[in-house]
Every structure is written in C-alpha cells, then in structure tokens.
Structure 1
C-alpha cells in the first residue's frame, strides 16, 4: 500500500504532462520572411482567441498546415493570408504583409530554400549538377506537377523561377547544367511526360544554356549529391546543396571553392552540348515515345 501511494503522484504528474499542450515554437522574425509572416499569423490568431483547430474550421486549411505556416516551416499563397484577414478581422494586414515579403513568389518555397531564387535572379552565371532529377529551372509544368504532388502554388513558383532564363533586362544568366545519363531514364510520371521533358531539354540548349550529359558508366566524383553555384556581379559565389534532411544555402568560401572544383572535374567526363542534345533526343524517342 505504501509503495502504491508513493508512485501514484508520479503517475498523476506524468498523465498531466502528457495532456499539456506542447509549448509553441519561439519564433525569431528577423530570421527571414517565413518566420516573420508566421509570427504575425500566430499573433493575430491568439489576439482573436482562436486555437489552430478553431481557425481551421473557418478557412480551407488543416490545423497542421496552419501550424507549419505559423512556425515558419512552410510558405503559403496569398489566398491563405486573405482568408486569415477575413476571419481574424485584421483589415487586410496579412495580405499586405504577404505582398511585401513574398511578392507572390518566395512563400511557395520551403524555408531552407526560400533565399536561393533571389541568388538565381541576381546571378550572371549558374552552374548546376543534378544527380536524380532535371534541374527546377529546366522542368516542364507536367514534370514539376508530379514532383510537387499537384500543389499549384508551388508549381507556379517553380515555373516563375524559370523567367530569369528568358528575361531581357538584365540579360539572363549563363546556365551550365550537368546531368548523369540516368536522369534521362528516371521516370517521373508517365512516358508522355518524360518524352515532353526530354524534348524540352534538347530544344533549350543554346549558346547561353548548356546541358551536358555524363554517359552512364563513366567514372566521376559526383556521387556526393546535387548542387548549384551562382556567380553574382563582382565575382562573389554562393551555392545551394541538396542533403538530408533538406538542402541548404552555402556561403563559406572554402566549401564553395571545393564545389566549384568538383563541378570542373565533373565537366571533364561530360559530352559536349551537341553530343548531349543528340543523346537526349535519342533517349526521348527510343525510351519514352509511345
């Protein structure tokens, strides 16, 4: 009996702790636009006295989605801000903030990637090595739709990134993209989607846009993962590397120099742009044409 009475308070405390709501993540708005926008959504929601579930009952978003946005872990489209403004009576404050922070673009990207499109848009030269998939700057809408599970806001964000390749002022960056031949074989969606994507790649090759294929079986040092390097006006370099659990933007000079050397090493194993174009066309017709 005595032993039971000593352990009961511990059990009771454990039960109470399990039932207590998890403390909200502390946000640091200065970290970036996603954190700032999320902190304002949370502030207006708590001022309105609504829980995540209660807000979700009045707008077409799940509580988990709203929570991710508030924590700065996910972007959103302007429609989310407008719905929150209506329910939380903010006098359009969130929609106005969304316009200022994202300009209809950055909110569709995850936090760890959100800054990279800005580097892309400022770049004079882009170098890209992709191990498994076509670079996002070169994806067709259908190919992107499969990868992004039909999320129209994210698809539109990806396609808008591609506008830097066709702009007039400033001139588009010079893009050099290296792809292992296996990327041409890796099915994304249907055969028709792959056929369209490969023909798009072949047609895109130009003096300012080079796509070079590393033939299957060629030994090369590119198995460590995908990466992109942007050279900005003035010669400054920055990079984006894929990784687990997610990618990251890199600005450390020594790391970027190693990535640049790896890219140069990889390029020595690649076919010329004209040879690559022929191989892409051949693969599209022989492997993916129905």
Structure 2
C-alpha cells in the first residue's frame, strides 16, 4: 500500500466528483446527451468529466446541479474538491474527530456501522484483512471510555435491510445482532431501525455527523471512491434535513430492540 503522506493526486478527486455526478444523473434518468445540450459542451466532454479525466468548470456544475435538483450538493462537492483552484478535498483526521466528539449520529443503509461491528463481522466485511479489522474494533473504545472518560452520545440509525444483509456466516450475523442488543443497553447509545423505504435521501449514501464540545459539526460521508470529511455548512444542512426525515421513519429504541430480536430468531437462528 502506498504511503499516505502526500495529498491525493488530481485523478482520485476528479473521479470522486465524476462518480457522484453520474450517480445523481442516473438517479434522475437523465442522459449524458441532455447534460451536453444543457451545458453546451460535447458529449465526449461530459463523459470525460464523469470518468474523472477532465475538471468541470463551476458554471457547468451549477447548471448540472440545478437540472438534477441536487439541492447544491454537487456544487458543494465541487467547491470542496477545488479549494484554491486545485481539485483537493478538505481533509480532516476523522478518527481524531470521532474520538473527540460529544455526539455521533450515524446512518447506515447497507452494513452495520464500524462502531458497532463484532470482530468476526468486521473481518468478513474487510475480506480477511486482520490489521484493518483490529483497527476498526479498536475505535470502539470511545463508546465506553471517550475523551476525558466521558463517552459520547451515540445514535445509530440502521436501515432495516442491514439486519437481513448477510455478512460472513449465519453465526456471524447472529452474533452481530446479539451484540447490537448488548450495545443498546449502554446509557449513551441509542439504536433505531429505519423501516426499509426508497423514498428518502438516505438511500444516496451512509454518513456520520459528529458534534463537538463547542457545538461545531463535522461530517464523514461515504462514497464509492473514498470517504469525504467536511464541515461545509451547506453539506451539514443537507445532512440535517436527511436525519430529520430518517428519524421520522425510524422505530423507537425499544421497538428497534424487539425487531432485532425477531430477526435473530426468524432469520439467523
């Protein structure tokens, strides 16, 4: 694995932007030709932008964001990736942010969040990479220790699908869901299951919002290329709206525990 001492090259950042643009475009069932006509650039140029081979101009991004009803999210991503004229994202040390946070609200739509994974589940998810699995499990110390011995308040919002999505063996899944039940007994941890539905913005990706002691916020947003860590106000506002929508569709803590027990019995026993 190459060292991570240098800023990422241009290509990864451009690819991250292009991948998100394509995802938004396809979600709206819009053709590349339509984007080309709208922005007055050639079809091959649109393709190059989506493949991370060409940097988009801001005027192009504004037009595409408006046409795709992206709510400014594409513009915010472009701005993050083009600070000082260079396509380099804002980088935070997320593990440190996570460790220093007073509150963590996590949304996951496909797998159990890292802070709640068992060693076996993490190892299966990471395809046998023991070092990576150990590092992930090690981060969970904040749930009971926290900064200055004061653990953060943690809210885990899980798509109902996560409980049924097989990772590893049935025994791994049963152990994992039983671990969720144990975690839910911690006074600083709330677990809520969001009933499966494709009618909310949470389907676009998983994320974590960290609230710090000074009430400032930092978010970690997962993408197909890498995670993006940001404190951009527009990004945070968008995530706040998504969280309101998700929690409106979530079961209570007690009801979520009952559903987890039911899934263990009916699906993983």
Q: 1:156 to 1:29 in 2, by over 3 A?
A: closer
Q: Which residue does 2:60 correspond to in 1?
A: none
The residue number in structure 2 matching 1:183 is: 162
2:74 is equivalent to residue 121 of structure 1:
no
Higher relative contact order (CA 8 A, sep 6+): 2
List aligned pairs for 1:131-150, cutoff 5 A. 131-150=109-128
Larger radius of gyration: 1
Equivalent runs, 1:57-68 vs 2, <5 Å: none
CA gap 1:255/1:30 in 2 versus in 1, 3 angstroms? same
Paired position in structure 1 for 2:152? 173
Which moved further from structure 2: 262-271 or 208-217? Answer: 208-217
Matches within 5 A, 1:1-290: 29=5, 31=7, 115-167=93-145, 169-206=148-185, 207-217=187-197, 219-289=199-269
Distance 1:154 1:113, change over 3 A: farther
**3-state secondary structure, aligned to 2:166:** coil
* Alpha carbons 1:218, 1:269 under 8 Å: kept: no
Q: Give the TM-score normalised by the residue count of structure 2.
A: 0.64
Q: Distance in 1 between matches of 2:201 and 2:224?
A: 19
Matched-pair contact (CA < 8 Å) for 1:113–1:247: no
Q: Structure 1 158/231 Cα, relative in aligned 2: closer, same or farther at 3 Å?
A: same
CA distance in 1, matches of 2:91, 2:267: 33
| SS state at 1:230 partner | strand
* Structure 1 residue 221 displacement after superposition: 3.0
Decide whether the 8 Å contact of 1:180 with 1:216 is kept in 2: yes
**Does the 8 A contact of 1:184 with 1:280 survive in 2?**
yes
Distance 1:282 1:113, change over 3 A: farther
In 2, the alpha carbon distance for the partners of 1:269 and 1:151 equals: 35
Give unpaired runs (5+ residues) of structure 2. 9-89
Secondary structure at the aligned position of 1:179 is classed as strand
Q: Which deviations, in whole Å up to 9, do the C-alpha atoms of 1:40-68 show, x marking residues without a partner?
A: xxxxxxxxxxxxxxxxxxxxxxxxxxxxx
Cα deviation, 1:138-190, whole Å, max 9, x if unaligned, reads: 00000001011222211110011000001163311100011111100000011
User: TM-score of the superposition, structure 1-length normalised?
Assistant: 0.60
Q: CA RMSD in A?
A: 2.5
Paired residues of 1:239 and 1:249 also in contact (CA < 8 A):
yes
Are residues 129 and 274 of structure 1, via their aligned partners in 2, closer, same or farther at CA, if it must alter by over 3 Å?
Answer: same
- Aligned pairs, number: 186
